[in-house]
Structure 1
Amino acid sequence: MKMQMLLFLVLFFVFTFSFQGNVAAQDAELDSLENVLKDLQDPWDKFKAITDLSWAYSRKDPYRALFFAEMAKELAILEKDDGLLVNSNYYFGAAHKNLGNYQTALDYFKPYLDYKLEIGEKKRVCFVYYQLGITKLQMGNYLGAIDDLLNNLKLSRELGLKDTEANTLSVLATVQSKLKNFEKAIAYNEEALGIFQSIDDKNGQGQCLANNANYYAILKKYDMADSLYQLGLRLFEETGDQYMLGHTYFNIGELQILKGNYTESEFNILKSIQIRQSLGHQKDLAESHIGLGNLYINQNEGQKALFQYHQARQLVDIVPSLELEKKMTIGLAKTYELLKNFEESTSLYKALNTLSDSILNQEIAQQISELNVRYETEIKENQIQILQKDQVIAKRNQSLFASAALIFLIVSLAVFILYRNRQKNIKRLEEKNGIISKMLEEKEFLIKEIHHRVKNNLQIISSLLQLQSRYIEEPMALAALNEGESRVRSMSIIHHHLYTESNLSQVNVPQYIDNLCSNLLASYNYKNKDINMIKEIDDIALDVSIMIPLGLIINELITNAFKYAFEGRESGEIRISIKEQEGKLLVSVKDNGIGLDLHSTKKGFGNRLIQTFLKKLEAKAETIVNEGTEIKIELDQYKKEVISQASA
C-alpha cells in the first residue's frame, strides 16, 4: 500500500510540473499577442486582435475571454460600428457557454446568427450554428441541437470546411449517445476521425478517440475504452488542450472505478480537478468532485466522500444542473448510509423521485416555474396595494372619493398596460404570420414550378417519341414507340394536375382518368371504331406516389383493350371503375371484347410493367375472361383524401 501511494505522489508531481510547463508556454504566446495589441492603431485590426484573444481564452480562462469580449464591445461602441458590435456577441456567447451559462450564451448567439443570415455571410453562419448546437446539447435540448448541427453540416460541406464538418460529426455522435444510440454515435465519430486524420488535426482525432472510449465504457468494453482514452490523452498532451485533458483524465478515473483500480482512479480524477480549477469551468469541476466522492464511497471512506460532495454542492448552487444534482443526491445518500446516518440517507433517497421527475420534465417544469413566479408576483403586488390602501385609510382617513379615484387610476393604468401589451403581441403575431404566409407562398410557388417543369420535360419526351415514330416503318418498333409515348403522357397528365390545382401533393382521380381516357381514345381509335368509354370513379384524391404507378397500370390496361379487345368488331365498350370499399381501393378495367388469351399476354413487356407496379403498390390483381376481359386490382395501403363537391 505504501509503495502504491509513493508511486501516486511521484506521478502526481511529474504531471503537475509538466502541466505548469505547458500552461506557461501557452501563457507566453498569449502575452505576446496582448503586447502586439497595444501597438495597433487601425480599429478593424485592433478589433480582430481583441476577438482573437477572447477566442483563445474562451476555454482556457472564460472570465479572461469575457474581459476581451467586453473590450471588443467598447471599441465597437466607440467607433459607432453596429456590425462590430453584433460581432462581439459571438465571443460573449462562447465564453458564457464554457462557463456553463447556457441560456446567456444562446441570448448572445441568436442576434449574431440573425445578423449573419441577413448579410449572407455563410461561413460565420456555419460557425454559429455549431456553437448553438453544442450549447443546446449541454442544455439537454437534443432535437434543437440536431437541427442546428445539421444546418452546420450542410454549410460546412457546401463551403468545403473539412475541420468544421468533422467537429460537427463528432458532436452529432455525442447527441446520439445522449439518445442511447451508441453504435450510431461510434460510427459518426469514426467518420469524423477519418476527416481529422486527412487534415492532420491531432486535437480533433483525440476528441473522437476519447468520445468513442466513453461509448465503449458504457457498452462495458473496458479494455477497448482504456486503449482509446490513452491514445486520446497522448494527443491532447501533445496539443496542450487543457479543456479536453480535464475531461479525459476524469473519464479515465471513472473507468478505473469500474475496473476496480481505485489508486489510479484517484490519481486521474485529482488531475482533472486541478485542470478544471485552472480553467474556471464550475460545472465540470463539480462533476470531478462528485466522481471523486463516488470513488471514496467504493473505498468506504465516508468522510472523504462527504467533503467532495459538499465541494460539488457549492459549485452546483452557482451553476445549477439537475443532472449533477441527481448524481450528487445519490452519492450523499450512499455516504450517509455508509456513515450510519440512516435518517438523512432515507430523506435523500425519497428526494430522488422528485428530482428524477424534474429531470424528465425539465422544460415543462421551467415553464410552470415561470408562470408560478408571474402569478406569485401579481398576488404580492395586489397584497401590497391592499395594505397600502388600508394604511392610508387608517392613518389619514382618506375620503371615499379619493380612494375611488386612486383605484380608478390603478385600474386604468393596468388596463392601459394590458391593452398596450396586447397590441404589441398582436403586432408580433401579425408579423410572424406574415413571414410564415410568405414562406408558404414561396414554397407553394416552387413546388408548382417543379411540377410544371417536370410536366414540360415529359411533354418534350412525348413529342420526341412522336417525331421519331414518323420515321419508323417496322410495325413492332412503331408500336413500342407509341406505347412508350402513351406511358410518358400518362405521367405528364399527373404533373399537369399537380401544378394547376391547389393541392400540390395529391391528384384528382376523376379528372385524371378523364384526361387519360381522352388522350388514349384520340391515340388508338384510328380505325374509326365506335368505342364507348364508361367511367365510374369515386370523388377521391390520391397521393402522387400512388397515382403515378396506378396511372401507368390503368394506361397499360386501357391500351391493351384498344389494341386487342375489338379485333374484327366495329364497336365496343370499355368500363373503368375506381371505388373505395371497406378501407380498400378497388380498381377495375373491363371490356366486352373477344376475350384475353392469358398464356400469350404473360410474356409481353406491358404485362411485366404491370406486375412491377403492382408489386410496388403491394396490390392484388385478378383477371376474369367472361364475355370480354376484366382486370380487378385491390389496394390495401393507399393515401387518400375525399374531394369536396365544390372543388370537384
Structure 2
Amino acid sequence: MLLFFSGYGQSANATDQSLFHQFQELATTDEKMAFFFNEEDLYRENSTYDWLELITINLNAAIKNDDQDDIKRFQLMQARIFYDLGDYDKSLAITKELMEQIEDLDIYLSSKLLDLMDDNYGQLTMYPEQIDIREKKREMGIMESVAFYDIYSNLGMYRKAMDDYIANVKKNIEEDDFFGQADYYNHLGNFLRLDGSTPTALSYYKKAKGYIDVYLESVTRRKSEKMLADSDLLKGVIEGNIGKCHVDLKQYEEAIPFLESGIKKIKENSDRAYSSEITENSLAISECYLQLKNYEKATDYLSDNLQTSTTENLLKKNRLLSLYYELTQDYKNSSHYLRREIRIRDSISENESQLRQQQLSTVMMQNLKYSQDMVAEQKLALEKQRTENLEKDKRNSLVLISLLFTLLGFAGLVYAYLKSIKNQRLIAEQKYIIENSLVEKDSLLKEIHHRVKNNLQMVSSLLSLQTKNTRSKAAIEALEEGKSRVKAMALIHQKLYQNEDLSVIEMQSYIESLINSVQSVYKKGGHNINITVDAEGVELDIDRAIPFGLMLNELVSNSFKYAFPHGDENGKIYIHIRKTGEQEGYFEYADNGVGLPEDSEERANTSMGIRLMNRLANQLQTTLNIDRHAEDGVRYWFNFK
C-alpha cells in the first residue's frame, strides 16, 4: 500500500495535465483513490458533475467485472462527491451500505469512510450517530481521543464546548504556530459570543487577529499560495466576527469596516463552504445601516440574491426587512415580513425544541456512557495491575519463607511494608468510592439547579402573559420589574448548573449576562451606555450571589429608567467587586446620570426598590451606603463578608 503513494506523487509532479486527466491515467484503483482524497482543490478545472460522471463510469466497470474491492472504493468516492454537492442523504445512504462491510475494509478505506460519515451526520444534525462514529474511530485506533466540542456547540452548550475544545486542541498547538493560535482564539471567541459574553469574545477575536497578522507579515517562513489563501480566509472570518461583536454592542459605525473587509476576503479565498459567513456578515451590515438611517445602503445588503441557507439567517433577514419597511413607513410590507417571521419561528420552534431536547438528552447519555466506558477500561487496567501485584506478592512470600529462620528481623520490616501497601490500596479504593459518590451528587445538584431555573423561567413567562392582559401602566411596570427580578435569580441557577464547580458563581460572566438580560427588558434604553464591569476573578457562593444579583438588577434597572432622561449617548455605569480578604469584599456601583432627587430620602421609605436593596444588604450582613451629593450621578457602595 505504501508504494503507490510514492508513485502517485511522481506522476502528479511530472505532468501539466488537468487533475481530471491525471486521475484517468492512473493505473490502479488504489492510486486513483489516494489521488482523489489527497489532491487539494479537486474541482478546480472540472465541476463536481464531471467528476460524478467519471466515477460512475468507473464504478459500473467494476460492477461489470465483479471486482468487490474496486466497487467499494469507487462507491466511497461517489459518496464524497454527493457530499460535496450537498446531497447528504444520498451520500449517507452509500456510506451506510459500506459500513456494513467495514470489517472487510483496510484501515485507510475505513478511515476515509468514517470521516465521511462523521461529516454527513454533522450536516444532518444527527449528533448521537455522529458520536457513535467517533467512538468507532477510537476503537479502531484511527484517533486516540474523542472530542465533542462541535456537537456541544451545535446543541447550544457553548461553555461546555469551549472547555472540551481547550482540553483537546490547546495542547496540540505550538507557541510559534501563529496560524494555529489565530484559529484557536477565533474558536474561543465564537463560543463566548454565542454564549452572550460579547465583550470577552471581542478580546479573543482581537487576539486572533493579532496572531494572523503576525503570520501573514512574517518573512522567516515560506508560505505557498494555498497557505496564503487560507490565512487571508481566516483573517476575513475573524474580521467578520469582530464586526458582529460591535453590532451586538450597538457600535454600528465601528462594525461596518470589519464586516465589509471580512466579506471581501471570504469571497476572494473560499468556495460556497463559507456562504453562511457571507450571509451573516451581510445581514449584520444591513442592520448597521438601518440603525444609522442609511436605508439605501441597507437595501443593498438585503437583496433577494442574499442566500439564507440557515433558518436563523432567514429569520434575521425577514426581521430586518420588516424593520426597514417600518422605518420607511411602509407598514403593510413591514407587517407582511413580521408575520412571515412569526410563522416561520412558530412552525419550527416547538418541533425544533423537542428535537433539540431529545438530541441533548441522547448526547449527554452517550457522553456519560463514553465516560463510563473509559472508567471501566481504567478499572480493568487497575485490576490487571492488582493481579500482577498479587502474583508478585506470592513470589515474594515464597522467597521470604525460604529465608524465614535466618532473616526474622528483616521479615518484620517486610511485613510492615506489605501492611502499608495494603492500607494504601484500601484508602485508594475508598477514595474511588467517595469520588464516584461526589460525582453522582454533583449531577443531582446540577439537575436541581436546572429545574429551579426552568421553574423560574416559567414564572417569568407567566408574568409576561399577565403583562399582555393588563392595561394599567403602573401594573405593567410592576410586573416587568418582577419579571426582571425573577430572571436575575434564574440566571444564578443557570450559571450554577453550567459550572463544573457547583459551589460558586464567577461574577464577571454573571454580571455581563445579567446586564444583557436587563437590556432585553428595557428595549428602548441603555443600549448606548458604556458599562464597565470590574469583577474578574471574583467568585461568590449562591447565598451571596443571589442578593448581589437582585441588588444589581435593581441598580441597573434604575439607571436605565431614570438616570439618563435626556439621552444616554454619554452615559456611563461602573460596577466594581473585589475581594479584600479571604472572606471579605468590597462592592461599588456608580453612574453619571442625573443623580437622586432632593426628596430621595423620603421616597426611600416608600420605594420598593430601595427597601428591597436595604433588605438584601442586611442578608449580606452589611449596610448599603448611598452618596446623594456626588458631583456627577449617584454612587452606592458597601463592604461585605
Give the structure with the higher percent helix. 1
Larger Rg: 1
Shorter-chain TM-score category? 0.3 to 0.5
